[in-house]
Amino acid sequence: MACVTIVRKRVVVHGRVQGVWFRDSVRRLAEERGVRGWVCNNADGTVEAVFEGERERVETLVAFCERGPSGARVERVEVADEPPEGIDGFAVG
């Protein structure tokens, strides 16, 4: 039986990422993959998100943030590892 490692990553997405269904697209993908966390718009025009779950599933969300939904223009993504906090569900702020 394989041991499942839970990871947590914080991403900040720069570019044309607000007003293009970025947050809702992230939420839908997170819910499909069973990833917990949150996503929100920041006042500086970035989108910030935290993902917690199995490493492979979290990496899928990070990879999505690097390209975004069809209307987005992602210029840069900052990714930081953080200790998992055991959050439940996925929230959009």
Q: What is the pLDDT of residue 1?
A: 56
Q: Can you name the CATH fold of 19-86?
A: Alpha-Beta Plaits (3.30.70)
Any catalytic annotation for residue 42? no
Q: Which tens digit of pLDDT belongs to each residue from 15-28? A: 999 999 999 999 99
Rounded Cα distance between 15 and 35, Å, is: 24
Q: Measured between alpha carbons, how far is 16 from 30 in angstroms, rounded to an integer?
A: 21
Q: What is the pLDDT at residue 52?
A: 98
Q: Could you say which of 23, 27, 36, 57 is catalytic?
A: 23
Spatial separation of the C-alpha atoms in residues 73 and 78, rounded to whole Å? 15
CA distance 51 to 49: 7
Residues of the chain under the 50 pLDDT cut: none
Q: How far apart are CA 69 and CA 12, in angstroms?
A: 15
Q: Where are the domains of the chain?
A: 19-86
Q: Which of 16, 33, 41, 42 is labelled catalytic?
A: 41
Stated as kind and residue range, the H or E segment containing 74 is strand 73-82
Q: 0.85 cut: is pTM over it?
A: yes
